[in-house]
Amino acid sequence: MSYKYLIVLVLIVLGACSSGKKAEQKQNEIPEQQIPEGTQSLFDGNTLDGWEITNFGTQGPVRVSGGKIIISMGDGCSGINHTADFPKVNYEVGLEARKTSGNDFFCGLTFPVNERFCSLIVGGWGGPVVGLSTIDGLDASENETKILKNFEKDRWYSIRLKVNDKKIKVWIDDEVVVDFDYSERELGIRPEVRLSRPFGLCTWMTTAEIRNFWLRENTQ
């Protein structure tokens, strides 16, 4: 083997090792959270600071990895609830969520409405139901906020919820899916998500991933 050939071979091997290390480093990098300007981040991409794992008694494990909150499937509800002060009205929250396994809701967002609480269900009742639970005692599958929508596994969906002193409005991928005037209506939650109050997110027998979670206050 010639000296020049040996040098070239060494350089090729070193280059391959360097490329492999760079690829591994890039894969392990935590992606920067991408939230709208003027909003407050509810998730730092690295820890569950400001949250606690909700002790439903049926929950699967919850962990943070790769800039995502991973809520693993349990035997019922699994999720997290916010531990800091949270506004009661005139606020907006947004997040991205995707279902990786299971066939039920991958985003059950319980939120305050003045002195009451309500839940946004995305992908419930076997996968297609979106709506608010509860309205006048009726679940999302039974009241007028119900719509049916196909949700693909492993696809990210942008979810945004806005609460003012009259309406609850919800967008999924910029499509308005709920526009509900709650004046003189009775808002409530199902007993299963009582521990999610005042603000929390859970799944039902489904594994989900959450990222880019944010809050905007004082909206109308």
- The rounded mean pLDDT for the chain is 90
**Model pLDDT, residue 25:** 44
Query: What is the end-to-end Cα distance of the chain in Å, rounded?
Result: 76
Mean per-residue pLDDT, 70-78: 97
**Model pLDDT, residue 16:** 52
**Model pLDDT, residue 23:** 46
**Model pLDDT, residue 28:** 47
Domain that includes residue 88, residue range? 40-217
What is the DSSP code (8-state) at residue 31? P
User: Residue 29 domain-assigned?
Assistant: no
Mean per-residue pLDDT, 126-144: 97
Count Cα atoms within 13 angstroms, Cβ side, for 38. 6
Alpha-carbon radius of gyration of the chain: 21
The residue that leads in pLDDT, 138 or 218, is: 138
pLDDT tens, position by position, 7-58: 544 455 455 555 555 544 444 456 678 999 999 999 999 999 999 999 999 9
User: Residue 14 domain-assigned?
Assistant: no
Confidence of residue 127 (pLDDT cuts 50, 70, 90): very high
**Helix, strand, or coil (residue 15):** helix
Mean per-residue pLDDT, 173-179: 97
User: Residue 49 domain-assigned?
Assistant: yes
**Model pLDDT, residue 181:** 98
User: Residue 16 domain-assigned?
Assistant: no
**Model pLDDT, residue 186:** 98
The CATH number of the domain holding residue 135 is 2.60.120.560
CA nearest to 51, candidates 32, 69, 31: 69
The structural domain count of the chain equals 1
Which amino acid does the sequence have at 82? H
pLDDT tens, position by position, 144-175: 999 999 999 999 999 999 999 999 999 999 99
Distances (CA, A) of 23 to 5, 26, 72: 27, 5, 28
The answer for residues whose C-beta is within 8 angstroms of residue 88's C-beta and 6 or more apart is 112, 113, 114, 115, 198
pLDDT > 90: what percent of the chain? 84
User: Residue 180 domain-assigned?
Assistant: yes
**Model pLDDT, residue 18:** 53
**Model pLDDT, residue 33:** 81
User: Residue 20 domain-assigned?
Assistant: no
The count of other CB atoms within 10 Å of the CB of residue 61 is 12
